[in-house]
Amino acid sequence: MNQSANEIWARGSNSTSVQTFIRENGTSIYSRPEWNPTAVVHLFVAIPGSLLNGLVLLAFLRDPQLRTPFNLIVMHLIASNILSAMQYAVSVPGTYTGQWQLGERFCDLYLLLQSLIGGSIICTHSLIAVNRAWAIVYPVHYRSANTKRASALQLILMWVFIVSVNFPYFMVAGVIKRMPVDRIGCRFNFNVLPAYGTVSAITVYFCPTLLVLALFFVVSLRKLIAGRTVKRCEPANNNTLRSVGPVASVGLVHKAQERPRKYFFLSLLTACVTVLFLPRTMFIILTLFPWRSTVWQSEYFMVTSLLYACEIVVDPILFLMTLDRLRKSTRDLVTKCQ
Burial class of residue 65 (count of CB atoms within 10 Å of its CB; 0-12, 13-18, 19+): exposed
**Distance between terminal CA atoms of the chain?**
59
Per the CB < 8 A criterion, the answer to whether 121 and 81 are in contact is: yes
The pLDDT assigned to 308 comes to 84
pLDDT for 82 equals 94
| Per-residue confidence (pLDDT) for residue 1, from 0 to 100 | 37
How far out from the chain centre does Cα 325 lie?
Answer: 23
The CA-atom distances, in angstroms, between 139 and each of 119, 122, 132, 256 are 29, 25, 10, 11
Query: What is the model's pLDDT at position 149?
Result: 93
pLDDT at 251: 44
What's residue 13's pLDDT?
Answer: 43
The architecture (CATH level 2) of 6-337 comes to: Up-down Bundle (1.20)
Q: Could you tell me how many residues make up the chain?
A: 338
Binned average pLDDT, 10 residues per bin, the chain of 338 residues = 42 36 38 71 87 93 90 94 90 79 84 89 93 88 90 95 92 85 79 80 88 89 74 54 48 49 78 83 67 57 80 90 88 82
The per-residue pLDDT for 185 is 77
Q: What is the pLDDT at residue 287? A: 63
H/E element, 9? helix 5-13
Each domain of the chain, given as residue ranges in start order, spans: 6-337
Which helix (H) or strand (E) element contains residue 314? Answer: helix 300-322
What gap in Å lies between CA 49 and CA 52, rounded to an integer?
Answer: 5
Q: How far apart are CA 51 and CA 44, in angstroms?
A: 11
